[in-house]
Each structure stands twice: as structure tokens, then as C-alpha cells.
Amino acid sequence: MSSSFHIDPSFTGYGKAGVRLLKIKRNGKYHNIKQIEVSTELKLNNHSDYLYGDNASVVPTDTQKNTVYALAKEHQVEQVSVEIEETPWRRIKQQKGIEHAHAFIFSPEVIRFCSVTHARGGEPKVSGGLKEMKILKTTQSGFTGFCKDKYTILPESTDRSFCTNVHCRYYFDGTRGVDFDSCWNFAKNTILDEFAGPPQTGVYSPSVQNTLYKAEERILNNIPQIGYIEMAMPNIHYFTVNMAPFGMTNKDEILMPADKPAGLIKVALSRRPKARL
């Protein structure tokens, strides 16, 4: 089979886009993470796959994905192009500036927002909050003792990674004497503290629900002007990559991020109505 057309090798290639992974290095209680997204492109030393449908030299794109995970590179390839974008995780710093051992925050950190409604002759109704605060910890999280039925395949875990993207809104009962900056900073720091815990040891989270509730409870206990608070914490999953098929063990060192589906956990707390005399 002959062709009068010329294949342009500078544009010809194939690969795998969007191979995402989270690498965890554990040194005792102190963990390091790096999350990257890799796109690969291979150029073969022949064009038989295009010209004749002969795939003998083709390294499948799925193999390229596995190669990224396994860091292997033994194939008939003349050129390889790799583009990597690193996800900007940094360690959570406690209020005294101490960096946490295994809890991280996405950077840029958070978006602050507020809302004000004021009717003529009435008091202003003010709410504030934060969103898109993505946080992750590599240990001190579990989920056990849950309801099980014939559709349940989720195994119990006492040590797993916990990643979420916090959305929190709180409503003020009144605004007289309120320091809005202090309230917002306290809310943000409380969420981080209940999630991460002490820098060296962390704090165990038996569920996303419990961590969420404890943060809201602490905010209401410390800011009397806030009468109502609602918060959502999606459980963003990171799955352990099965590397056994290519002869490698993976003790939760290489994880694959999954945006969807994600668990969605939310709750709202308000102050109990005061008893009438």
C-alpha cells in the first residue's frame, strides 16, 4: 500500500493526558506530599500504525499511564514529551506559625465572601463565610462501624487520607460591635484546627461529619453574634493505584485523585431558642 501523502513527524504522536497522582512520602509521623498531573506523548520510529494499521510498535496509552505510575521507561521510543503541572499544596501553619506534620492546604488558600441585606427602617442582615478552601491530610482519618447492606462494598478504614473543599457560611444575629475580620479569621482557623489538630500529632477524625460538626460548634461557642452557621465538606477521594500487575507494591504511596463522584457531607447549626419567662 502506497500513498502520495507525507506524514509530518513534527505533529505526529499519541499519548495520555491528565494522568493525576498524589505521591506520599512517610518519614515516621512527618509526611511529604506532591500532587502532579502528567501528559505524555510518544513518537515512534515508524508510522506503520497509521499507514497499515499495524500496532506492533504501539505502546498503548493505558501503558503510558501505568508507566507514569511505575516510573518505568523501557520501550521502542525515539522521543518522549512530558508536561507536568504540580498542584500547589503547602503545609498548614498553626496560629504560632508551626508547620503541620501531615496536614496540607491548597494554594491559593480560600475565597472570602459576605452578603448584606438592609430594608428601610430595619436592621441589616449580614452573613459571611469562606469557600474553595481545599485541605488534605494523609493520616489520622478513618471511617468504621457504618451501616452495611447487600450493596455495601466499602471496606472499613482506621487510617486513610482525608481531602475536602470547605464551603462555610455564617449569619449574624446582630452587627453592633462586630469585628468582621476577626470573626472570619477565627472561623477559618477553627476549621483548619479541627481538621488538622496539633502540628506534631494531628487529631483523629472518625468521620467527615464529626469534624464538620465540631468546627461549627466551636465557632458558635466563641462568637456570640453568630446565630446560624452552615458548612459543606465534600469527601474528595484518592484511590490507591493497583501496581501489582507490573510487579510493584504500593503501600498507599501513589494515589489517584478522583473529582467525581465525591461524598457530600453538610450540616447547619443554630442557637437554641431562648426560653420565655
Site of grid cell 496540607: 104
d(CA 93, CA 72): 36
**Percentage helix, strand, coil, to 5, in the chain?**
20, 40, 40
Instruction: Report how far residue 227's alpha carbon sits from residue 221's, in angstroms, rounded to the nearest whole number.
Output: 10
Distance CA 14, CA 47 (A): 12
Residue 94 in marked binding region: no
The catalytic residues are 16, 61, 237
The response to whether 235 counts as a known ligand-binding position is yes
User: CA 152 → CA 42, 78, 156, distances in Å?
Assistant: 41, 47, 11
Q: How far is the C-alpha of 196 from the C-alpha of 140, rounded, in Å?
A: 9
Q: Is 164 known as a binding-site position?
A: no
Q: Residue 12: name the closest of 37, 36, 47 by CA.
A: 47
Binding positions for urate: 61-62, 143, 160, 208-209, 235
Binding positions for O2: 61, 235
Binding positions: 61-62, 143, 160, 208-209, 235
